[in-house]
Amino acid sequence: MSQTTLLLIETHGAVGHLVLNRPEALNSLNLEMVRAMQQQLNAWAEDDAIKAVVLRANGDRAFCAGGDIRSLYDSYFADDGMYVDFFKEEYALDEFIHQYPKPFIALMHGYVLGGGMGLVQGASVRIVSEKARLGMPEVAIGYFPDVGGSYFLPRLPHNFGYWMGVTGQHINAADSLAVELADEFMSAANFPAFCDALAAADWEQGTAEEVVSQVVSDFAEIFPEDVQESVHAVAIKKHFSHSTLHEVVASLEAETEQKEWAQNTLNLMRTRSPLAMAVTLSLLRHGANLTLNQCFALELHLDKQWFSQGNIVEGVRALIVDKDKNPQWQPATIEAVTDEQVAAFFSGFNPQ
């Protein structure tokens, strides 16, 4: 067993464990953690003694609440380039997980937001606990869903990913299972026994995938029924099928059967960055027709412009730095965002 301050690296039998260990900061990711994970996953990919990998986290509140956005904000103003390096290396790590050559199991408990979603959505087995809360809340700070969100969100059923990305809303374990952002449900109290069973597994009984599948099935529980958001799947599919933010808003305003839900959705959207929501919708429309690699490239293309031309600096200032919770978005309203402003961010992107 070895460890760094922020990432614990353990082996239990033939299983490697990466443990996010920054609970006081909701296990938010910084560049040191990203690099440590990449280095260890590279090593385990080449190590025949390691049959599978588990990603989990310490602390009861969050698996990972995203990237350490304050450090990226500071890097931008210091003009040291770290924030661009962070996005490049974080995306490379996320893409590597999607393509990892061994079973990769994510155990999610508490908040799984933004960068946390980037780590888990490429896992071969995505397990949620009763306290899991999944989301891509970037528009709340004037940003857009990245870490592969442009790939996995538009591929969810019922346009659910468009709703999640544009509104920034979180969902619970039941909803995450219902919309295919998770594969299995397991009470957090059973995580240790599950890990023990993996460690004790006989890896000669089949392929690594078959062994993992059997242990998972031994511990998987009946899906919880307390869906809160997917009950609105028909309305979400209808209203978030539109190509522009203005059309989405007009559609919600015209809703008659689920008027209260539509109004609540609009009220939430009025608190978000109008520019970020409009760019998010366009990003997801693009991503629906791109490969995973192309989606990461497009997100990086936007990143290189967003700190100087988007709303993230103001969002982080208002919500994290000054904490006045009164961001002055530019443009200030959804109605003021133009199609030309949105299109400009995608200009020059050429998917290879």
The domain that holds 69 is classified in CATH as: 3.90.226.10
The answer to whether position 19 is within a domain reads: yes
Q: Binning pLDDT at 50, 70 and 90, where does residue 80 land? A: very high
pLDDT, one tens digit per residue, over 86-136 is 999 999 999 999 999 999 999 999 999 999 999 999 999 999 999 999 999
Residues 78-93, mean pLDDT to the nearest whole number? 96
Q: Could you tell me if 54 and 181 lie in one domain? A: yes
Q: Which of 196, 219, 242 is the last residue of a domain?
A: 219
Integer Cα distance of 241 and 163 in angstroms: 9
Q: What's the pLDDT at 60? A: 96
Percent of the chain at pLDDT exceeding 70 = 99
Q: What's the pLDDT at 4? A: 61
Q: Binning pLDDT at 50, 70 and 90, where does residue 47 land? A: very high
Integer Cα distance of 297 and 270 in angstroms: 29
* Res 25 pLDDT > 70: yes
The answer to whether position 352 is within a domain reads: no
Q: What's the pLDDT at 2? A: 45
Q: Binning pLDDT at 50, 70 and 90, where does residue 186 land? A: very high
Task: Give the 3-state secondary structure of residue 9.
Answer: strand
The answer to whether position 161 is within a domain reads: no
Mode of pairing for the β-strands spanning 111-113 and 62-64:
parallel
Question: For the chain, how many residues are written?
Answer: 352
Q: What's the pLDDT at 1? A: 42
Q: Which of 198, 219, 240 is the last residue of a domain?
A: 219
The residue type of 170 is H
- Cis-peptide into 145, omega within 30 deg: no
Percent of the chain at pLDDT exceeding 90 = 98
Residues 194-201, mean pLDDT to the nearest whole number? 98
* More reliable by pLDDT, 2 or 154: 154
The answer to whether position 159 is within a domain reads: no
The helix or strand, by DSSP H or E, that contains position 170, with its residue range, turns out to be strand 170-172
pLDDT, one tens digit per residue, over 275-321 is 999 999 999 999 999 999 999 999 999 999 999 999 999 999 999 99
Q: Could you tell me if 215 and 335 lie in one domain? A: no
The total number of structural domains that make up the chain: 2
Q: Could you tell me if 189 and 274 lie in one domain? A: no
DSSP state of 67: B
pLDDT, one tens digit per residue, over 317-335 is 999 999 999 999 999 999 9
pTM of the model: 0.96
* Res 352 pLDDT > 90: no
The answer to whether position 321 is within a domain reads: yes
CA dihedral 318, 274, 332, 316 (to 10 degrees): 10
Q: What's the pLDDT at 11? A: 98
Q: Could you list the residue range(s) of the whole structural domain that residue 281 is in? A: 232-346
Residues 229-245, mean pLDDT to the nearest whole number? 97
Residues 205-220, mean pLDDT to the nearest whole number? 98
Task: Give the 3-state secondary structure of residue 215.
Answer: helix
Using the CB atoms, write b or e for 50-66: b if 16+ within 10 Å: bbbbbbbbebeebbbbb
Q: Could you tell me if 38 and 89 lie in one domain? A: yes
